[in-house]
Amino acid sequence: DAGVTQSPTHLIKTRGQQVTLRCSPKSGHDTVSWYQQALGQGPQFIFQYYEEEERQRGNFPDRFSGHQFPNYSSELNVNALLLGDSALYLCASSFPGQVDYGYTFGSGTRLTVV
């Protein structure tokens, strides 16, 4: 049973560019959340998608946007990249009916902005 799959694993972009990161949730999961983890810090919630809609959003600017597809996979888009956007971007999937908030995290995409 595949867990959460993220692509690419590493990415280098130039300031001002745009980037798209991809996530396939764990089999049976239909909710996808995105987190940003800067070096040496805990993950920070960006947003969550359920039924192809953004259900909740953390404290991130509009440069960060996302999408969820009918097969539950998701994309995270970041426009006008800043050096401070360099981080590990984590995708987590879950199933709303679970009692135990069982997030499953992917291994992340390491984004470096130069």
Contact footprint for other proteins (CB under 8 A): 4, 31, 33, 35, 38-45, 48, 55-56, 58, 83-84, 86, 90, 92, 94, 96, 100-108
Give the residue with the Cβ less far from other proteins, 22 or 45.
45
- Smallest gap from Cβ 105 to other proteins, in A, equals 3
Residue where the block lists tokens 């426009």: 79
Alpha helices (runs of H) in 8-111, residue ranges in sequence order: none
Give the residue with the Cβ less far from other proteins, 3 or 20.
3
Nearest to 36 by CA among 1, 84, 94: 84
